[in-house]
């Protein structure tokens, strides 16, 4: 099926429409891998439901003839508070995989957080990027390989490393398992290719069962974060925080930022929606470091609500992959355009002219 061109993409009104269109274009196996969550999809569904429960409390008669969505994170100016979250295996959605995604990030002026489980090397992505990439890191079972990977992405110009900390073992991804997910022939894990057949230690796996990933280090602890902090000269964030005490400890360990995330509902099912976990973490952090959020963002109004509850910015994952499947780089740009426009509309209707003005004052208590 051919990708949609600019004219057809311009007629797509919402991000949800991109998912509907992508489902018709993707294989069943690919769609279930991308769209599915863990267990009974309770957290996956709750990520959206929680946003929908939040009510806004707008102010009137404010001059909103000029609306500014720019912000600064780690000394770099961003045109809007939306980043592209790490998502694995873009080849499932487009034949050019992450290379096409990088083009979409360029068109949309968005910063991409490159995934460890990519089909293209970080170096190849960075070569075509218009702005420095961030990189999502799993602490590997092989710590020396972890260090080598860190050194590689830093050498390629990575600006920030986001350590995913919420998947020490595999979760029960029922939909993915039912669909019999596997990478198509010829598609590789580019960044992790050197691991070969490295597996988690057999000593950790009861006979006949496997809860361990071939690459994630189930023995990772805060000591590994301390070690990473000692070898990472660029910005270091922890991704997968839901507990305020963990956010506070991340600051104490010298982390530069925290990402409130439940892995898009793909890790431990029945944990809270990220937008519900956000306020207590924001209160504990107290604005000392950037606080980002992912999980369930589908509209610009969701971005507004996240910022009102204390987030510095948000990340989107599935939405831009659906855009990639439907329209390639142009599809990604259209997804981001929709969210940016809706955010600006929400700000104007709520009576805000700058991101710094968005606060809990605009939430109906």
Q: Per-residue pLDDT for 182 more than 50?
A: yes
Write the CB contacts of 208 (distance below 8 Å, at least 6 apart in sequence): none
Q: How far is CA 80 from CA 83, 84, 86, in A?
A: 8, 12, 18
Does the structure show a pLDDT above 80 at 208? no
SS3 content of the chain, % helix, strand, coil (to 5): 45, 15, 40
Q: What is the mean pLDDT of residues 289-293?
A: 98
For position 206, what pLDDT does the model report? 42
Q: Inform me whether the pLDDT recorded for 249 exceeds 90.
A: yes
- pLDDT-derived band of residue 205, with 50, 70 and 90 as boundaries? very low
User: What would the pLDDT profile of 256-278 be if each residue is shown by its tens digit?
Assistant: 999 999 999 999 999 999 999 99
Q: Say yes or no to pLDDT of 41 above 60.
A: yes
Phi, psi of 190 (to 5 degrees): -60, -50
Can you give the pLDDT at residue 195? 62
For the segment 67-112, what is each residue's pLDDT rounded down to a tens digit? Answer: 999 999 999 999 999 999 999 999 999 999 999 999 999 999 999 9
Query: Percent of the chain at pLDDT above 70?
Result: 96
- Taking alpha carbons only, the member of 270, 240, 88 closest to residue 166 is 240
Pair of tokens at residue 179: 């669909």
**28 part of the active site:** no
Alpha-carbon distances of 29 from 116, 163, 213, 361, rounded to whole Å = 21, 27, 20, 44
Choosing from 90, 94, 216, 263, the catalytic residue is 263
Q: Is the pLDDT of residue 198 over 50?
A: no
pLDDT of the residue at 197: 42
pLDDT digits (tens, 9 = 90+) for 139-159: 999 999 999 999 999 999 999
Q: How close are the terminal C-alpha atoms of the chain, in Å?
A: 47
**What domains lie within the chain, and their CATH numbers?**
6-362 (3.20.20.70)
Q: Give me the DSSP letters along 294-343.
A: ESS--SHHHHHHHHHTT-SEEEE-HHHHHHHHHHHHHHHHHHHHHHHHHH
Cβ-count burial of 230 within 10 angstroms (0-12 exposed, 13-18 middle, 19+ buried)?
exposed
Measured between alpha carbons, how far is 114 from 98 in angstroms, rounded to an integer? 8
pLDDT at 215 over 80: no
Q: Which residue has the tokens 């004219």?
A: 7
3-state DSSP call for residue 214?
Answer: coil
* Cβ atoms of 302 and 353 closer than 8 Å: no
Alpha-carbon span 265 to 175, nearest angstrom: 12
pTM: 0.95
Bridge partners (DSSP) listed for residue 239: 164, 259
pLDDT at 194: 67
Q: Give the whole-angstrom CA distance, residue 197 versus residue 283.
A: 44
Tell me: pLDDT of 200 over 90.
no
Cα–Cα distance for residue pair 216/331, rounded to 1 Å: 32
Pairing outcome for strands 113-114 and 134-137: parallel
Question: Could you report the per-residue pLDDT of 54-71, keeping only the tens digit for each?
Answer: 999 999 999 999 999 999
Instruction: Tell me the H-state helices in the chain.
Output: 6-10, 15-25, 28-35, 42-53, 97-108, 122-128, 143-155, 174-178, 222-231, 244-252, 274-285, 300-308, 318-350
**Distances from the Cα of 226 to the Cαs of 145, 149, 332, in angstroms?**
17, 17, 36
What pLDDT score does 185 carry? Answer: 84
**pLDDT tens-digit readout, 321-343:** 999 999 999 999 999 999 999 99
Q: Please give the average per-residue pLDDT across 2-29, as a whole number.
A: 97
With contact defined as beta carbons under 8 Å apart, do 46 and 272 qualify? yes
């Amino acid at each position: 099926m051919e990708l949609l061109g600019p004219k057809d993409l311009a007629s797509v009104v919402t991000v949800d429409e991109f998912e509907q269109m992508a489902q018709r274009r993707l294989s069943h196996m690919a769609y279930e891998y991308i769209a599915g969550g863990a267990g009974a999809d309770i957290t996956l569904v709750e990520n959206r439901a929680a946003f929908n429960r939040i009510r806004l409390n707008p102010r009137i008669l404010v001059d909103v003839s000029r609306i500014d969505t720019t912000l600064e994170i780690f000394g770099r100016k961003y045109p809007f508070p939306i980043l592209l979250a790490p998502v694995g295996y873009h080849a499932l959605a487009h034949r050019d995989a992450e290379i096409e995604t990088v083009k979409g990030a360029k068109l949309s002026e968005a910063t991409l957080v490159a995934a460890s489980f990519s089909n293209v090397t970080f170096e190849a992505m960075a070569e075509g990027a218009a702005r420095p990439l961030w990189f999502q890191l799993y602490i590997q079972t092989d710590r020396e390989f972890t260090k080598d990977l860190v050194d590689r992405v830093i050498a390629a110009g990575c600006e920030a490393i986001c350590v995913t900390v919420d998947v020490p073992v595999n979760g029960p991804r029922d939909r993915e398992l039912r669909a019999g997910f596997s990478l198509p022939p010829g598609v590789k894990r580019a960044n992790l290719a050197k691991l070969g057949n490295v597996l988690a230690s057999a000593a950790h796996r009861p006979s006949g069962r496997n809860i361990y990933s071939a690459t994630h280090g189930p023995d990772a602890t805060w000591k590994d974060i301390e070690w990473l902090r000692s070898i990472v000269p660029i910005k270091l964030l922890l991704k997968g925080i839901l507990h305020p005490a963990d956010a506070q400890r991340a600051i104490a360990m010298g982390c530069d930022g925290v990402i409130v995330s439940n892995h898009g509902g793909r890790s431990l099912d029945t944990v809270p929606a990220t937008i519900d976990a956000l306020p207590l973490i924001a209160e504990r952090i107290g604005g000392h470091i950037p606080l980002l959020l992912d999980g369930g963002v589908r509209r610009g109004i969701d971005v507004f609500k996240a910022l009102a509850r204390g987030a510095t910015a948000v990340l989107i994952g599935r939405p831009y992959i659906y855009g990639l499947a439907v329209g390639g780089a142009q599809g990604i740009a259209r997804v981001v355009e929709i969210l940016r426009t809706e955010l600006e509309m929400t700000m104007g209707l709520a009576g805000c002219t700058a991101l710094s003005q968005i606060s809990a004052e605009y939430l109906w208590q």
